[in-house]
Chains A and B, each alone.
Chain A
Amino acid sequence: MEPVSTIEGRAIPLGLANIDTDVIIPAHWLKTITREGLGRGAFETLRAEPGNVFAAPEFAGAPILIAGDNFGCGSSREHAAWALADLGIAAVIAPSFGDIFAGNAFKNGILAVALPRQAVDRLLEVARDHPITVDLDSQTVTTPFQDRFAFEVDPFRKHCLANGLDEIGLTLASEAAIETYENSRAEHMRWLGPARGGAA
């Protein structure tokens, strides 16, 4: 994963609430066995609407997306995060996110920035004509008009994002603890071990 630092540029002012992952990437795009190329299917239904915000030339290649409450609710499909990454989105700003999506975004180096609704409304307004900046290190979103909104990010996630770390590699560093746990379970809760018998 590439390290994440500052994301600066135009922000697509989408603004709708409850954008579910079926909207981000419809199921018929999920038949792939790779992570690549899903940007073509991103927001397929919305992009088919005349005059949609994605079609505006000024937002072509924009690295930031601004949405309403509960962005990424619904299905666990990581294809939603892969589709956004393939579109070139490096940060999504919204008042709140679906839990599973927020995790998936992080694991793909996309910053899910939660800000109060008032701040998001202000950014939606600014983004129509101006770029904005999301900075991971200072945990702020700023505009050319001196707006400055601080956001929270889990310290572990920040550390991983800033350094482009592989989470599996980090966990495998705790392999001894996993083994100790497994041995203790095998002794005291033998029934939890291999599920015996075959599927009928």
Chain B
Amino acid sequence: MASRPRTLYEKIWDSHVVERRADGTCLVYIDRHLVHEVTSPQAFEGLRIARRRVRRPELTLAVPDHNLPTTARLAPDGTELPIADPESAAQLAALARNTAEFGIAYIPATAAAQGIVHVVGPEQGFSLPGTTIVCGDSHTAAHGGIGALAFGIGTSEVEHVLATQTLLLAPSKTMEVRVEGALGPGITPKDLILHIVGRIGTAGGTGHVIEYRGRVFEEMSVEGRLTVCNMSIEAGARAGLVAPDDRVFAWLKGRPMAPSGADWDAALEWWRTLATDPGATFDRTVTIDAAGVEPTVTWGTSPEDVAPIGGTVPSPESFGDPAKQAAARKSLAYMGLEPGTALTDVAVENVFIGSCTNSRIEDLRAAAAVLEGRTKAPGVKWAIAVPGSGLVKRQAEAEGLDRIFTAAGFEWREPGCSACLAMNPDKVPPGERCASTSNRNFVGRQGPGARTHLMSPAMAAAAAVTGRLTDVRELLREPA
């Protein structure tokens, strides 16, 4: 079919339109729906009240992650340990009950496949290129790393997808984030996405779907792409995409829920047509020079509050916009930071390595590479490493990474969302700082009064070793 050149986003969108309305909104088919315990109970309740069924139960996969404690789940005799918090226990039980009632596949907390929903989807081959993927969680954007149009939805939309396998959506605008050149040694995908969020701003991508383009992404691992796309929502964009390529296809092939045989070949043939056509245009383009990306950390309470590790805490007066000045003053008061302080002078008491942004095997390897032969600083009271899934955990243990973490003074935990969002027992105490590989440094995000500094797994490991924000490249240069 001869047609005008289209972007990757437009190709996926066009192939999923069920019905186009006069005002331009479209009824869009949803290929894959991921469900967790927090944003689904009210959706199932809604179905029950309206006496509606789940239209295509086989296209939904459920796994508990947000509430689940990350401590041992089985007693020595193999029986499942109870969950202490009665509200969490009730919510987790509701997920098991609801999925059984409506015939939806459910991965229980004790299964090896259990994990954070955005780690599990790609890992199982449930998430596939060119598909539409939704979940009641804003970090669903992560699945764009394998070339899927994936975005977070609210609970009413969860109910809508369960009942109709569609959503009524207005087409998004497109934004190209073009990264020119190559990242320097020791610079990771997390540093890059923090830098990008700082550049675009936390509302800059609102109404847009971002496509990340350039050689950096072509050469980036699948795990790295998932990290980058994950934080698209931190720039306001509901979805982020990287064009699927041979690296993604090789990564997905043979995964339990991925197509196989002739189906795989047919899928592959279509996936190869998805990349943005030459000559296709974007509504907006942002160009980033990769060489300018340093190891990056946040200093404030918005993910756009980023600075290179060699920098200082900014002065609120340095921002032109009076609203931003006021926000920065409030942020610094909450964070307990003085303008002009060198970031490398900021001490941390807690270190969290995990979350849907950075809990995949490559993340654990990067942190372990820094920690090997080293131990956490005396000032670091609490350091935890939380694999993104039971399968990531198993792989890490096969590689001996767990022993490196524990020898360094880290606790080695069971998979879950953990200290990313203060919904389970893993919390940062009030007034204390955390070097965290998660995605949000919002007020109270890791616990009431907790002060979050976002960074890469390698940078968080470096902070654990020195007890302060640290340029990991210094540790990588010198032997342990």
Contacts and interface: CB of A to CB of B under 8 A. Distances in A.
A185 to B, nearest CB: 7
A74 B29 contact: no
Contact of B154 (A68, A78, A155, A178): A78
Contact of B236 (A70, A103, A175): A70
B23 A171 contact: no
A198 B128 CA distance: 16
Contacts, number: 212
Interface stretch (A12-20, A58-66, A143-151): A12-20
A100 interface: yes
Which of the four size classes fits the interface of chain B? 35 or more
B58 A178 contact: no
Contacts of A200: 112-113, 124, 256, 391
Given A74-B442, A168-B50, A177-B27, A191 B164 contact: no
A73 interface: yes
Nearest to B87: A31
Contact of A76 (B45, B128, B154, B323): B154
A108 B138 CA distance: 18
B152 A178 contact: no
Contacts of A100: 138, 152-154, 238
B259 interface: yes
Given A31-B87, A178-B27, A70 B165 contact: no
Interface string A162-200: 000011100110110110011001000111111111111
Contacts of B163: 168, 171-172
B27, B113, B156, B206 pick with most chain A CB within 10 angstroms: B156
Interface string B35-64: 000110110010000101001101101000
Contacts of A108: 156
Contacts of B157: 103, 107
Contact of B23 (A20, A154, A175, A185): A154
Contacts of B39: 76-78
The 8 A-B pairs with the shortest beta carbon distances in the complex, nearest first, are A33-B41, A191-B259, A191-B263, A104-B154, A78-B154, A76-B152, A31-B87, A107-B156
Given A17-B324, A189-B266, 5 more contacts: A16-B327, A33-B41, A182-B56, A190-B266, A191-B264
